[in-house]
Amino acid sequence: MQIDILTVLPGLFSGPFDHSILKRAKEKSLLTINLHNLRDYTNYKHGQVDDYQFGGGAGMVMMPEPLANAIEKLSATTKYDDIIYMSPDGQHLDQKTANHLSLKQNLLIICGHYKGIDERIREHFVTREISIGDYVLSGGELPAAVLVDTVARLIPGVLNDETSALFDSFQDNLLAPPVYTRPANFRGWQVPGELISGDPKIVEEWRHNESVKRTMQRRPDLLNNQEE
Ligand code: SAH
């Protein structure tokens, strides 16, 4: 999979993308991430990419021209399955969307700043708008990093034990069961007997029951979505 990211702050990504699972995905050549600095696509002086908003009011808006230049130039060499704009008013990111996007070949992600990007870019280029939650961040970089992480770990071959993602929370609309590791007795707090029974059927049944119990307690809304 190839993910291109359009940003005014490419440096923000060096931390999250250079460790752990994302690093491994890149090393295994299962994922290529290209960072593109929007300022390289502006014809305005001093790398200007934003301007005052029409109608007045506080806050700058990202100008359409540099964005359109960049999107068109990148699209000339890569056929994007989706051009995604990270936005608080977009569709909420969930596991279903992550699963869906993990099967794509090429994605372009646009990170906004200030008051956001000129609406005409959203109308004419963007094919999908994604929010990571009902709160406002100062830029689209952290949301984009969240999206890339959740999608990348689902690309077949990225996780060592390929089946492990299948048992994460939200797959099958259930929360994950509690997990334990050694020692079996820590300060007198015991690991549930089922998990150390050595019987895979008993373990599986316990995990499923705990998943259902936890989902009913914490997120009953997920159980009502079973049919989707
Ligand atoms: N004025 C806008 C917010 C702009 S925040 C509004 O009220 O909707 C600046 C940029 O940060 C946005 O363009 C977007 O790319 C990013 N951003 C902020 N919060 C986000 C969220 N919850 N999900 C995804 N992107 C977000």
Cβ atoms of residues 64 and 121 within 8 Å: yes
Do residues 85 and 146 both lie within one domain?
yes
Does 145 score more than 90 pLDDT? yes
Q: Which of 56-65, 86-95, 163-172 has the lowest mean pLDDT?
A: 163-172
Q: Is 57 in the pocket of ligand 1 (CB under 6 A)?
A: no
Q: Using the mean position of ligand 1's atoms as its centre, give its distance from the Cα of residue 104 in Å.
A: 24
The 3-state DSSP class for residue 142 equals: helix
Alpha-carbon distance values, 88 to 42, 109, 113, 115, 125 (Å)? 25, 14, 12, 11, 18
**Domain of 108?**
2-152
Total domains, the chain: 2
The β-bridge partners of 61 are 51
Do residues 140 and 187 both lie within one domain?
no
pLDDT class of 226 with cuts at 50, 70, 90:
low
**CB atoms closer than 10 angstroms to residue 8:** 21
Of the residues 99, 123, 152, which one is the last residue of a structural domain?
Answer: 152
Pairwise CA distance, residues 114 & 145, whole Å: 18
Does 227 score more than 60 pLDDT? no
DSSP state for residue 139 in the 8-state scheme: B
Model pLDDT for residues 102-115, shown as the tens digit of each residue: 999 999 999 999 99
Do residues 12 and 115 both lie within one domain?
yes
Residue 119 domain-assigned (yes or no): yes
**pLDDT at residue number 7:** 98
Do residues 21 and 115 both lie within one domain?
yes
Model pLDDT for residues 11-48, shown as the tens digit of each residue: 999 898 998 888 989 999 999 999 999 999 999 999 99
Do residues 141 and 184 both lie within one domain?
no
Of all protein residues, whose CA lies closest to atom 12 belonging to ligand 1? 112
What is the overall mean pLDDT for the chain? Answer: 95
Do residues 148 and 174 both lie within one domain?
no
Do residues 178 and 148 both lie within one domain?
no
For residue 59, the ligand 1 atom closest to its alpha carbon is: 1
**pLDDT at residue number 20:** 86
**pLDDT at residue number 161:** 73
Do residues 120 and 14 both lie within one domain?
yes
CATH code for the domain in which residue 18 is found: 3.40.1280.10
Cβ atoms of residues 80 and 108 within 8 Å: yes
Q: Is 110 in the pocket of ligand 1 (CB under 6 A)?
A: no
Model pLDDT for residues 29-38, shown as the tens digit of each residue: 999 999 999 9
Q: Is 119 in the pocket of ligand 1 (CB under 6 A)?
A: no
Average pLDDT over residues 84-89: 98
Phi, psi of 43 (to 5 degrees): -100, 0
Average pLDDT over residues 52-78: 97
**pLDDT at residue number 162:** 58
Does 163 score more than 80 pLDDT? no
Q: Which two tokens stand for residue 6?
A: 């359009």
Do residues 126 and 186 both lie within one domain?
no
Q: Using the mean position of ligand 1's atoms as its centre, give its distance from the Cα of residue 130 in Å.
A: 10
Using a cut of 0.85, tell me whether the model's pTM lies above it: yes
Do residues 140 and 186 both lie within one domain?
no
Do residues 140 and 59 both lie within one domain?
yes
Round the CA-based radius of gyration of the chain to a whole number and report it. Answer: 21
- Evaluated on CA atoms 62, 66, 68, 71, the torsion sign reads negative
CATH code for the domain in which residue 220 is found: 1.10.1270.20
Q: Which of 162-176, 179-193, 195-209 has the lowest mean pLDDT?
A: 162-176
Q: Which residues contact 195 (CB under 8 A, 6 or more apart)?
A: 180, 203, 206
Does 167 score more than 90 pLDDT? no
Do residues 146 and 188 both lie within one domain?
no
